[in-house]
Structure 1
Amino acid sequence: MKTLTRPVLVAAALATALAACTPAPQDDRPVTPPRQSLGAIRLVAYNGCDDLLAGLRAKAAENVGPWGFGGPQIMYMEDATAARAKTAETPDHSTTNTHEAGVDEPDLVKTDGDRVYTVSGGTLRIIDTATRKVTASLDLPGKDERGYAPADLLVSGERALILFQGGGGPAMKRGFAPPGETRYVLVDLAGQPKVLGTIKPEGTHVDARMVGSTVRFVTRSQPDITFPQTRDQLPEAERTRINQQVVRRAPLEAWLPKIEITDASGTVRKESVPCERVSHPAGYSGTSLLTLHSLDLSQGLTAAGSSPIGLAADGDIVYGTGQSLYVASNPHWWFPIQPAVVEESAPTPSGQESAVAPATEPAPVEPMPTATPTPSGPPPEETEVHRFDVSKPGAPAYVASGKVPGRLLNQYSLSEHDGHLRVATTVTSADGDTSVSGVHVLAADTLAEVGQVGGLGKGERIYSVRFIGPVGYVVTFRQVDPLYTLDLRDPAKPAVTGELKITGYSAYLHPSGDGKLIGIGQEASDKGRTLGTQVSLFDVRDPAAPRRLSQLFQKDSGSEAEWDPHAFLYWPKTGTAVIPLSSYGEGVQRSGAMVLKITDSEVSKVGMIEHPADRNSAYPPGIQRSMMIGDSIWTFSYAGAQVNDAATLDRQAWIPLGS
């Protein structure tokens, strides 16, 4: 998909509207809270392996419990593919819907206009877009043990990186964890495809980004420590003490994940992150390690391998620009248990500094709340963010770290613009009864906070975020959907400029040019009960008065595009949009892709595309992805690819992709 440039008219209208608007009188208007300092979490490099081991042992011992690490109280929940040289005959085509222009993201299907690439059942298939036939296929290493496991792809020229996800990470967002190990397979696509090498790190895949031909991928691992099977009759405090002793004797290799690299000849070498390339924040748990790998697809597997660096921290969200890679660690979900007496009393988590309103701000104002820790209560609900410089070849360079109160929704909660990082979070009270959202603005070079605006959606949580240049849009929901518009031109004084309340919510927001936004989400009753998919067209040219121009409602249905933006296709050339749709009303289940026409003022339904049902099912397979190639819409399910005329929706071809 072609990512649109930010609407120039939005910024121009913003300046005009702000000059004319006056403060709204209503009492529930969001207010700017006093700035809160959460302290620095500067990364510190270890002096060597002895220092690394001592630090990891000590921190991990403080955080081990009767069940080891974790336990019942914690659960884990043309920005296109760089293409080969084009000819005049290459058809115009969409590419993966990505967050930032020029930064590609792994996805189930890729195309360069001439060929389509997809992996299913452990087999890579290449489809010629002119003949609409599979012209080449390749069984990938590990196919036998991986079975049906899905895989994502990144393609640059005649090279592809296939990303198999060994449980957790993005795979969990699809509702299941595929079997097998995390594995990255480099493939040469020229002629008959062939494997050039495989990288198999210990740990689970978090996410990856590609700029040019260089891929940065992030894995997460826990210490490889086996705890004794103590009898359940032992008190928790005693089991914790025993586990602490095991941690304090664990070797360095328990923390440093091994990386197995196999070249085209089958030669295998093993390596790990050197001690001097592992860093840590000032405060860390020692129970998780992030590894950042770099691989230039055009160079292949060189002696430098994947150029890994390590970070003694957790992480579950990756956001990238052309210059920066951010890894964020949301707070763990916390469930109360009886506190256990441990071998050494762990330091009480420090609370936040008292918020004092600046003299220039009106008082009193309400700060964004954070959880206050107690001996048996939750730790502070804070998200850590680490920034790495990826502007040069080779391994990323650490730049800075920071933290903000609350929890991120996804990568769209982060946005770098004009030397600052904007972060949208929701903070929930310790008892879970209240919540409030806000946007924090951090200096990109230090990740120190320079401004914030809070008070958004009291009693609600964030359902979608979109930042476009100096403007931000935040949707919160509980019973109604406030769409907030934010002026972010002054990093020190971000402000809410407008608010639109409608029923339901938008779970994904997409720019459609000329100051318009497309929203994909759910309609809801006035009590907050969801009713079915809604597609909205918003006019945000006047930041003080956003309004909805059009709504399309599909009763008793849902779309994967609500939680996975890669499933959304928007083709501005013709105003065509396509979303997967599953309907479940009146005892009838249907799956397909809904084709929409979006004009300057209206969203209308063109029709539905469905794939043929296979002989083992009475229902059509669910469509996961769609793309535009020439004058045709291509859609993809686990069973195959279908080509339909974009104007009439007549079927033009069916391409089976089963094993």
Structure 2
Amino acid sequence: MTGDEFDSELDVEMDSILRRGGAQLRDEANAIDGNRVMIGSLKRQVHSASRMNTALASVAVILAVALIAAVAAIVRDRGAVTESPKHVGGSTPAAVKLVDSLPPQPVDPHKVKLVASVARYDTCASLVDKLHRVGAEHVGSRGFGQYGYATPIGGYYGAGLGYQRRFSGSANETAIAFSSSADSAGGAATGETLGTNVIVEGVDEPDTVKATGSLVVDLTGTKLRVTDTRSASVLSTLELGQEPSPGQDTDATPDPNPTYSNPVSLLVEGNRVLVFGVESVPRPALPDDPSAARPYDVYVTLTFVDLADPAQPTVLDRARIEGSLVAARRVGDQVRIVTNSDLAELPMVVPTGGDSVAAALRQNRLAVAESAAQDWLPDWDHGESTQSKRLVDCANVVVPDTFAGVQMTSLVQFDLDGPFEPQAMSILAPSENLTANATDVVVASHVWVDPAEQKGDYSDWSTALHRFEFGEGGPTYLASGSVPGSVRDEFSLSVLDDRTIGVVTVDQVPWKDRDKAKVTVRTLSDTSDLSKLVEVGSLEPSGSGESIGGVRFIGDRLLVSSGPLATVLSAVDLSDPANLKDLGSVGTGGVGEYIHPLPDNRVLVIGSTYITHGKDVRSAIQVLLVDLNGAPAISATWVKESASTSVGYDHHGFTWWPQHSIAAFGIYNHSTGSLATPPPTAALLNIGADSISPTIVTPRDADLGPKCKWDEPVTDDCDSSGDPSVQRVLVIDGQPWLYTTESLEHLDPQSFNSLALVPLPPAM
């Protein structure tokens, strides 16, 4: 018997065991009564509404209590409820009437055609009526499912690009233009400090470490840390989170459902710091709700910190927004964020077998039909014990005329100085990808498809685009449109001007990769009445298709790494959106993952390639200097064998130092043959007119204690960080510093020799 045959027989046997086990569990389990699930959900609504200090909250409490009484009465009248579809979920007559009017099956996603229009509603009642119908029409027997895809659309796996663009929280913006001189290419003069590598000059992006003046502000564990480079010392740490450790041996019994709060990224302007985090709060167990729909409430946390005295940072304000953070930007002292939230509190169920699909579908439809405005619209507060407020008024919600998914994407604007006083609006649509510049945001939304339906024919798949504007009165909706295919990542979108956006699409669905995917550049512009985005130009770049790597909008040009294994760099002229011009392409011999603009119409393309030594194939970093004054032409190449870099999936890890024409980033070195793995290093590349001259720096060990042994348990007495790896190359007060996993290291700006070391032990 071959290995494959053995595995096949083992799979069959395991399937049989699982089926028998599942049948036994179902026979022994108590039936879940949909009515009691509904009662439990309504009680949660009463608890949530009681925290809202508004007249609307009082109305919500009264309605929820009335519904509880009505459902409880139905439960008493019916007694035990079977799994017959007509007897799942006790509900109000209006909800039953709506559900009974629906066809037996949810809306077929194959037949959904995106249209470029949205609707507004003056009252919460009219908005909720619309949400009841559109939600009940589309919900399935498994609810609305989950959002986000782990597969990079049309991407080359070796590039790793699809993962970064989808999960890093970074978003492409209005394209930064080519610079006429090094000093104007987005850097700092002598003595100044470089900020985070961003895509739009003047539009800051969150990161885990920021340099401001002579200070380095970073996150370590659940703490904010402030380090002064002039005194070469850590000035302070500030606890910002709460991290449970249920696996540790302690005298106390660990909480099985602990509250979890953790900072994840930050923005800095002057002496103000804004820390973004995530908080999960367990819901109280309710005897009338035997379901396990979602035991936690998830929040975005916003912590405002004052660094006027960096030795004693002070928390000025802390707020929580219901949902998850999609992206954030800072323009001056104003912060714009995009969040999403879903119907997590509704009593959704899933079928336990084929004979309960209809019952589960009816229960979920009734759950949606009984929902209230508070179920759809996110709240915000200043903490668990504070009163909550609605983030968005019903009149500030837009609903696309084509349902794309039951996520509420909210655009929020507020001042960095605090306190948190949000201006917000929402759209009923998922936010898979988005682009943002100093004023505008464009959100890309795919039609939601139940995983059970994903094997069908979606050859005419399209993506909706919604454009918004930030201003003095808060965010406002501008226009919507759609494009054929999928928008792979945030770098595939750009705001070109106040009427036009650019987008790169691939002709495939988000959840399935293809060997050969057509790549198309499209431009969309507002109609005369400014209500719709319509396509005005499209082009398939020469050499494109099959795979896609890095994408970059730069001024009136687009660069895309595509072709076989993303080894062709193509350029497109976008100066006339209605008449796109192909500027040619050049083979790169490797995957282009990240593209960075340089002065004099040049770019750096950072990616990966493979080097063959007989039968030995080694991965390598490849950096290309490309001239764009005509058709793309490679001026210089640098290759580092047996190495990789994170720049392809985290552009914040790249630094351009214009004063010295130096590109810098961290390197992970790989073992070759039986040799030990070399320690991580940093590359500092001097970029000439047609040359790349490298300097490789190995960071010093901070001597944080004896290293932990790989075959022994990790304890507090040993250093588990391994060799220090370079996370960022910072320029502070005109001096280069390596920010590693265990230190800040000062380098000589000419020789790059080590001058000083500040140990940064991990927070305990």
Matched, 1:132 2:235: no
SS of the residue 2:486 aligns to = coil
**1:149-164 to 2 correspondences below 5 Å:** 149=262, 151-164=264-277
Q: Is the 8 A contact 1:442 1:449 kept in 2?
A: yes
1:582 and 1:181, CA in 2 relative to 1: closer, same or farther beyond 3 A?
A: farther
Which residue pairs with 1:41 in the alignment? 116
Residue type of the partner of 1:301?
P
Matched, 1:535 2:623: yes
Q: Is the 8 A contact 2:644 2:667 kept in 1?
A: yes
Deviations 1:557-596 (A, max 9, x none): 2211011111100112112111121122326433232222
SS of the residue 1:497 aligns to = strand
1:90 and 1:519, CA in 2 relative to 1: closer, same or farther beyond 3 A?
A: closer
Deviations 1:178-226 (A, max 9, x none): x974211111121221111112111111011111111011111111212
Q: Is the 8 A contact 2:505 2:519 kept in 1?
A: yes
SS of the residue 2:129 aligns to = helix
Residue type of the partner of 1:443?
S
Which residue pairs with 2:469 in the alignment? 389
Deviations 1:26-72 (A, max 9, x none): xxxxxxxxxxxx87422321231122212222222232222221269
Deviations 1:529-549 (A, max 9, x none): 98221111111111xx31111
Which residue pairs with 1:658 in the alignment? 762
SS of the residue 1:58 aligns to = helix
Matched residues in 2 for 1:48 and 1:646: separation? 62
**1:23-422 to 2 correspondences below 5 Å:** 40-70=115-145, 91-142=191-242, 149=262, 151-165=264-278, 181-191=299-309, 192-224=312-344, 225-228=346-349, 230-261=351-382, 268-285=387-404, 287-298=406-417, 300-301=418-419, 305-330=421-446, 337=453, 376-378=456-458, 380-390=460-470, 392-419=471-498, 420-422=500-502
- Segments of structure 1 that go 5 or more residues without pairing to the other structure are 1-37, 80-87, 168-178, 340-375
Q: Displacement of 1:332 after TM fit?
A: 6.2
> Larger C-alpha radius of gyration, 1 or 2?
2
Q: Displacement of 1:326 after TM fit?
A: 2.2
SS of the residue 1:91 aligns to = coil
Matched residues in 1 for 2:502 and 2:404: separation? 26
Q: Is the 8 A contact 2:411 2:425 kept in 1?
A: yes
Deviations 1:386-442 (A, max 9, x none): 22111x234211111222222334332222234421111222278935311111111
1:242 and 1:561, CA in 2 relative to 1: closer, same or farther beyond 3 A?
A: same
Q: Displacement of 1:471 after TM fit?
A: 1.7
Which residue pairs with 1:436 in the alignment? 518
- Segments of structure 2 that go 5 or more residues without pairing to the other structure are 1-112, 152-165, 167-175, 177-187, 245-257, 281-296, 709-719
Matched residues in 2 for 1:584 and 1:107: separation? 27
Which residue pairs with 1:10 in the alignment? none
Matched residues in 1 for 2:652 and 2:334: separation? 21
Matched residues in 2 for 1:380 and 1:129: separation? 56
Residue type of the partner of 1:642?
E
1:297 and 1:90, CA in 2 relative to 1: closer, same or farther beyond 3 A?
A: farther
Q: Is the 8 A contact 1:91 1:114 kept in 2?
A: no
Q: Is the 8 A contact 1:595 1:609 kept in 2?
A: no
1:120 and 1:161, CA in 2 relative to 1: closer, same or farther beyond 3 A?
A: same
Matched residues in 2 for 1:140 and 1:440: separation? 44
SS of the residue 2:533 aligns to = coil
SS of the residue 1:499 aligns to = strand
The more displaced of 427-436 and 466-475 is: 427-436
Residue type of the partner of 1:105?
E
Deviations 1:459-504 (A, max 9, x none): 5232111222222211114346111111112111102121111321
**1:496-535 to 2 correspondences below 5 Å:** 496-524=582-610, 531-535=619-623
Matched residues in 2 for 1:244 and 1:496: separation? 50
Residue type of the partner of 2:495?
E
Residue type of the partner of 2:398?
S
Q: Displacement of 1:604 after TM fit?
A: 2.5
The more displaced of 254-263 and 102-111 is: 254-263
Q: Is the 8 A contact 1:72 1:335 kept in 2?
A: no
Deviations 1:317-337 (A, max 9, x none): 232222212222356688564
1:149 and 1:142, CA in 2 relative to 1: closer, same or farther beyond 3 A?
A: closer
Q: 2:554 pairs with 468, 475, 482, which one?
A: 468
Q: Displacement of 1:141 after TM fit?
A: 4.7
**1:2-41 to 2 correspondences below 5 Å:** 40-41=115-116
Matched, 1:621 2:707: no
Q: As a proportion of its length, which structure holds more helix?
A: 2
Deviations 1:329-363 (A, max 9, x none): 35668856499xxxxxxxxxxxxxxxxxxxxxxxx
Q: Displacement of 1:514 after TM fit?
A: 0.9
SS of the residue 2:145 aligns to = coil
Q: Is the 8 A contact 1:61 1:244 kept in 2?
A: yes
Which residue pairs with 1:34 in the alignment? none
Which residue pairs with 1:369 in the alignment? none
1:459 and 1:511, CA in 2 relative to 1: closer, same or farther beyond 3 A?
A: closer
1:599 and 1:147, CA in 2 relative to 1: closer, same or farther beyond 3 A?
A: farther
Matched residues in 2 for 1:482 and 1:229: separation? 46
Matched residues in 2 for 1:205 and 1:291: separation? 10
Residue type of the partner of 1:625?
R
Q: Is the 8 A contact 1:407 1:426 kept in 2?
A: yes
1:338 and 1:104, CA in 2 relative to 1: closer, same or farther beyond 3 A?
A: closer
Q: Is the 8 A contact 1:336 1:378 kept in 2?
A: no
Q: Displacement of 1:443 after TM fit?
A: 1.4
Residue type of the partner of 1:536?
L
1:332 and 1:502, CA in 2 relative to 1: closer, same or farther beyond 3 A?
A: farther
TM-score by length of 2: 0.67
Matched residues in 2 for 1:338 and 1:56: separation? 25
Matched residues in 2 for 1:622 and 1:56: separation? 50
1:525 and 1:493, CA in 2 relative to 1: closer, same or farther beyond 3 A?
A: farther
SS of the residue 2:382 aligns to = strand
Q: Is the 8 A contact 2:516 2:547 kept in 1?
A: no
Residue type of the partner of 1:442?
L
Query: What fraction of aligned residue pairs are identical, expressed as a percent?
Result: 28
Matched residues in 2 for 1:89 and 1:484: separation? 33
SS of the residue 2:419 aligns to = coil
TM-score by length of 1: 0.77
1:431 and 1:311, CA in 2 relative to 1: closer, same or farther beyond 3 A?
A: closer
Matched residues in 2 for 1:389 and 1:148: separation? 31
SS of the residue 2:578 aligns to = coil
Residue type of the partner of 2:444?
A
Q: Is the 8 A contact 1:207 1:317 kept in 2?
A: no
Q: Is the 8 A contact 2:241 2:262 kept in 1?
A: no
Which residue pairs with 2:160 in the alignment? none
Residue type of the partner of 2:569?
L
Residue type of the partner of 1:516?
R
Alignment RMSD (CA, Å): 3.2
1:485 and 1:440, CA in 2 relative to 1: closer, same or farther beyond 3 A?
A: same
